Amino acid sequence: MKRGEASDSAVANLEALQPLDLCACKTVSDIVEGMRRCSFGARMLGEVAHTLAEWVDGEKKPLVIFGGRSDTPLGKLLESMHARGWFRDILSPQYYGASRRRRREHVLVVGGFTDQDTPALFGRPERAIFINPWGLAPPEQAQDGHFHDVLFSDPLLIMQILENVLTERREGFPVKVSALLECLSRYGGVASAVSHGAAVLEAMVADPDCTVFLTISGAMTIAKMGLVICDMIDLKMVRHLTTTGALMAHGLIENMGLPHLRYDPRISDKELAELKLNRITNVLEPESNFDELERRIIYPVLDECAAEGAFLIGSGELYGRIGKFLSQHFPEGRGILKSAFERGVPVYTPAFWDSEIGNNVFHWNRQREERGEPRIVLDLERDVRRLVEAFTKTARVGIFTIGGGVPRNTVQNTAPLLELMHAHGLTHFPIRQIWYGCRICPDPMWLGHLSGCTYSEGGSWRKIDPKGLFAEVLADATVVWPFLVKHIMDQAERGAITLS
């Protein structure tokens, strides 16, 4: 088959992704199965779990390659899974490489290995899954936009999740998220940080005197986490949302029922450009989706603004109008801005122009200017005023962050802004610091950017109250975040906490 024929076939069979619906999930296995239809790390986890379950159920049990000590938490977990008959054996990378095994087998490579082990691990297995946080895998399994039989996350965290999945699928014993978090709490490292993150999130959303700000960067709606955000809004876990315009645009497209597609690496980026299929890592956003968004939502809302004389607005006001429009014209579908409008949750985009919605507003304004009509001005100071008001009217502030960047610091910067105004004589603005904080982002502190900035560092700016409660989870948010939100949903359902 020629390259052109292969890419034509690939385009014709692109898979439409599905949002992760936690309301339809009862157990850890349910959530992981739902992740198979998402993207990024969530999809890697869902696909690895599916493949591993097939191997364990088959006659050819997988061989585990593990270079760590057997008396560590991860070593003990692997040994317990081996004792249940799920693995054929556990070998070190060195032993596997030196054994000159000729048998073609299924291999699960957990953790790191040396350059000397690479030829055997990359070339000998019939099929191999690689689980590590360093991107160690054969090049053909980890390409730009294509990640097959790999999962680049903390192995102990992932293996505990996979153990829960196999327990349910093989033994019929359902594992709730609370049981997963209890296991993780005993392990240390990233695994325990996940459990601690769930505890901090629970504390802030259950505190009736706390206003919780959700801040999100990264392509989380493209990752198909849009309904997770809706759940946090609908169940009153958060009272304000600060995010990116791109995340909102992709979320609106999802709300309209238009598809995001799984990328097929047989299609080159040059071909994608010709087809107007915009790639975001391993997901495709058809340009036609943006055309529909501007025609069916953005331009009608801007026209309403003009008809009502609302020419000076903040991003929060514009998003509120879009949410109202969605509630009226798209009543059946769930969506972030629709939920935010119906629950009275303001949504802000501090870097508004860096998005397709910003492009739409700019184009709409230029058309009006050429007709001699007034244009809309985005006054982002209005958003800051609302953040200041929210900070000063609550007893305690909580922040739950996915990623970092401008959305995170826009909220955190409200504390030094209040300090500045207070120092310059505006003493009726009380000084307020963040009391609760939980962030999920894999970036380490030594990269020097805000996504990896610790809460302790934020304390030096007087953004963070050192007496408060904080959790820092250095992990892929698409893998971890759904479990934390589902934990809160379960706690609320059984009456352990009240969300108000």
* Same domain (yes/no): 392, 364: yes
What pLDDT, on the 0 to 100 scale, is given for residue 104? 81
Give residue 372's pLDDT: 97
Share of the chain above pLDDT 70, in %: 98
pLDDT of residue 102: 63
Contact indicator for 162, 54 with CB cutoff of 8 Å: no
Name the more confident of 308 and 98. Answer: 308
- Residue 11 pLDDT: 78
In a domain, 8, yes or no: no
User: What is the per-residue pLDDT for 1?
Assistant: 39
What integer pLDDT is reported at residue 499 of this predicted model?
93
170 and 313, same domain (yes or no): no
Q: Which of 114, 143, 175 is the last residue of a domain?
A: 175
Q: How is residue 276 written in tokens? A: 């107007």
Does pLDDT of 188 surpass 50? Answer: yes
Do both 162 and 184 map to the same domain?
no
Q: What is the mean pLDDT of residues 451-475?
A: 95
pLDDT beyond 80 at 6 = no
Same domain, residue pair 301 and 420: yes
Phi, psi of 108 (to 5 degrees): -110, 110
pLDDT in tens, 254-289: 999 999 999 999 999 999 999 999 999 999 999 999
Range of the domain at 183: 179-493
Task: Tell me the per-residue pLDDT of 87-143, one tens digit each, with 9 for 90 and over.
Answer: 999 999 999 988 876 668 999 999 999 999 999 999 999 999 999 999 999 999 999
Predicted local distance difference test score (pLDDT) of residue 101:
64
308 with 188, same domain?
A: yes
Last residue of a domain, one of 175, 203, 231: 175
- Torsions phi, psi of 277, nearest 5? -110, 105
Question: What mean pLDDT do residues 364-387 have?
Answer: 97
What torsion, rounded to 10 degrees, do the Cα atoms 233, 237, 242, 244 define?
-50
Mean pLDDT of the chain: 95
What is the per-residue pLDDT for 500? 76
Domain end marker among 112, 147, 175: 175
500 found inside a domain: no
How high is the pLDDT of residue 450? 82
What pLDDT is attached to residue 3? 47
Q: Which residue has the higher pLDDT, 239 or 104?
A: 239
**The domain spanning residue 158 has which CATH number?**
3.40.50.10490
Same domain, 158 and 201: no
Does residue 196 lie in a domain region?
Answer: yes
Co-location of 156 and 261 in the same domain: no
144 with 186, same domain: the answer is: no
Give the pLDDT of residue 417. Answer: 96
Same domain, 274 and 260: yes
The structural domain count of the chain equals 2
Q: Are 124 and 198 in the same domain?
A: no
pTM confidence score: 0.96
Is 17 part of a structural domain of the chain?
no
Is 458 a residue whose pLDDT tops 50?
Answer: yes
User: Other C-beta atoms within 10 Å of 462: how many?
Assistant: 14
What's the CATH code of the domain at 424? 3.40.910.10
Indicate whether 83 and 215 sit together in one domain: no
pLDDT in tens, 7-61: 677 778 999 999 999 999 999 999 999 999 999 999 999 999 999 999 999 988 9
Q: Does 453 lie in the same domain as 305?
A: yes
